[in-house]
Chain A
């Protein structure tokens, strides 16, 4: 039995142990990557904390975030109200804790939805080419033409503000650029020999797209998705600030900064600081994580520096 680092020889000699070895081996590349990319690791940890906060909000909050009352009104940070109280007496800390749920939920779902639809469009467009490609890309152009916030406002305004519409609106804003990038990737993957081979043995177009094209364009999709998460959360916050987000009483960081609250912020600056800080930290973490994912998966995409 070989000593030393033991991996290569042990793997081939002792097949019974291989599954265990394989599982343990998988950790090492991850840890090595983590050490090489400290920024990404810290961001990932922060996001993990955020997810835990969202899940265990019930245990972490001190008060019911929606309960109003005179004792908390404009209360400065104290032991009872760690981040102070807002103008209606709600505990800001509890609202921030519960607000994590909304931001995470809408952020993740909207990006997942947008990227899925966008990638599908991109794959179909790139794979079939020709007229299909042309028409689809004109539609994509039309949506890309739009300032994302304005498009989102229009959609929510016309369809009503509830969580589903907000999610759909944000998803729609992430679709166009995804489809463009995926289409580009598909165009280059299409030329590969294995696609021709699959066609030669009679695979249907759908099968080729799903089994051959898709796995090979996953990398840019994942990169785009991770970068888009920060933007999605920012978009949700902006909509909520304008009063077009999820309606009360659901706690929402963006809404805590908008509407009536502005009138009281001079007297109670903690109403301004904490929700904004929460948004900034979360968006920052997602952006940095996205950058790191991009560096790992596809250094060629380094456009933003």
Chain B
């Protein structure tokens, strides 16, 4: 087991570095000159000023020096300063992290809470009216763009009830009521897509397990359906669902980018979007690296859990 973990850890580090290098070069191979883009179209500006900005950004040094400087920075946790506000990029991310984390955690919790029972129900009553309705509903929901659902949640209550879901974000510890109301809508949208795909996986995984012989044995022994499902089938069927949940963190991250901007929630997702629109390349770099870190860690956790749940994996 330890060897397995060590190997996955090594892979994780390699992956993280590949992403880092990719981003590093992506930023530096921008079409046009980054500095000109930063300073607006002010090309008539004093060449001295331009040179100063270049120096500040470290763009005047040869590329391998830039790379080592940047790599060194990553080790120390310094990912440069935001080109817009001058604050350290990492600080800006950490400041907004709790917000996004709350959104994602709540979405994950509700997604799982809904997906598993519904998926089990759908599988047990396969091809019933309930099952078919659920499948139709879930496929339709999956096809609806998240930003569309989110926007509809803003627009229609406004039209029908003259009520707008509260925007912005108040700290949970300061005002839990406001906070929960504010996150309810984005969490709803995030959880919807998440729970729908997990529900489908739960259903098909459970159906797959049902086909196994040991389930038939359990029924032959005279065990009640609830016991067979709950005690024997469920644990094995949950494995792919759990891995899906772990991998869905990525989709959740992507979703936060859209939903935080629709509902004006100051999270990392919105920071990312703002940085991109403002051409704050250092910030964008830092955020992408951060996302990569989150994802690599998440993958590692999923891999470990997978090995723990399914002992066969360890011996590969």
On A, residues with C-beta under 8 Å from B are 138-139, 141-142, 145-150, 153-155, 157-160, 230, 234, 237-238, 241-244, 254, 257-258, 262, 265-266, 269, 272, 276, 279-281, 283-284, 287-288, 302-305
Contacts and interface: CB of A to CB of B under 8 A. Distances in A.
A114 B292 CA distance: 21
Contacts of A281: 143
Contacts of A287: 139, 142-143
Interface in B282-315: 284, 288, 291-292, 295-296, 299
Contacts of A303: 201, 204, 240
Interface stretch (B58-66, B68-76, B79-87, B253-261): B253-261
Contact of B254 (A141, A142, A147, A243): A147
Given A154-B284, A272-B152, A244 B276 contact: yes
B26 A276 contact: no
B277 A243 contact: yes
A145 B299 contact: yes
B258 A242 contact: yes
12 contacts: A138-B18, A145-B296, A148-B251, A149-B251, A149-B255, A150-B288, A157-B276, A241-B145, A242-B261, A262-B154, A276-B144, A288-B139
Contact of B19 (A145, A157, A242, A244): A145
B250 A148 contact: yes
Nearest to A284: B143
Contacts of B255: 149
A148 B252 CA distance: 10
Interface in B1-42: 11, 14-15, 18-19, 22-23, 26-27, 30-31
B30 A158 contact: yes
A145 B144 contact: no
A129 to B, nearest CB: 15
A171 to B, nearest CB: 16
A304 B252 CA distance: 18
A267 to B, nearest CB: 9
Contacts of B158: 266
B159 interface: yes
Contacts of A305: 135, 200-201, 203-204, 207
Looking at chain A's contact residues, the main secondary structure is helix
Given A146-B292, A257-B147, A305-B204, A266 B159 contact: yes
B155 interface: yes
B272 interface: yes
Contacts, number: 146
B105 to A, nearest CB: 16
Question: Interface residue tally of chain B, by bracket?
Answer: 35 or more
B124 interface: no
Nearest to A302: B204
B133 interface: no
B295 A145 contact: yes
B140 interface: yes
A284 B148 CA distance: 14
A-B pairs, 5 with minimum CB distance: A305-B204, A149-B254, A284-B143, A142-B18, A147-B250
Contacts of B299: 145
A147 B257 CA distance: 11
B30 A279 contact: no
Nearest to A267: B159
Contacts of B254: 147-150
B171 interface: no
B273 interface: yes
Contacts of A146: 19, 250, 291-292, 295
Nearest to B19: A142
A153 B142 contact: no
B151 interface: yes
B143 A230 contact: yes
Nearest to A156: B276
A244 B240 CA distance: 34
B292 A145 contact: yes
A147 B18 contact: no
Contacts of B31: 159-160
Contacts of B251: 147-149
Nearest to B18: A142
Given A146-B291, A287-B139, A280 B155 contact: no
Contacts of A302: 204
Nearest to B273: A242
Contacts of B253: 147, 150
Given A258-B147, A305-B135, A145 B257 contact: no
A147 B207 contact: no
A139 B26 CA distance: 15
Q: Which of A155, A237, A242 has the most CB of B within 10 A?
A: A242
A238 B288 contact: no
Nearest to A139: B18
Interface string B66-104: 000000000000000000000000000000000000000
A287 B144 CA distance: 11
A141 B300 CA distance: 12
Contact of B22 (A141, A142, A153): A142
B145 A265 contact: no
A145 B276 contact: no
B139 A279 contact: no
Contacts of B281: 158
B258 A238 contact: yes
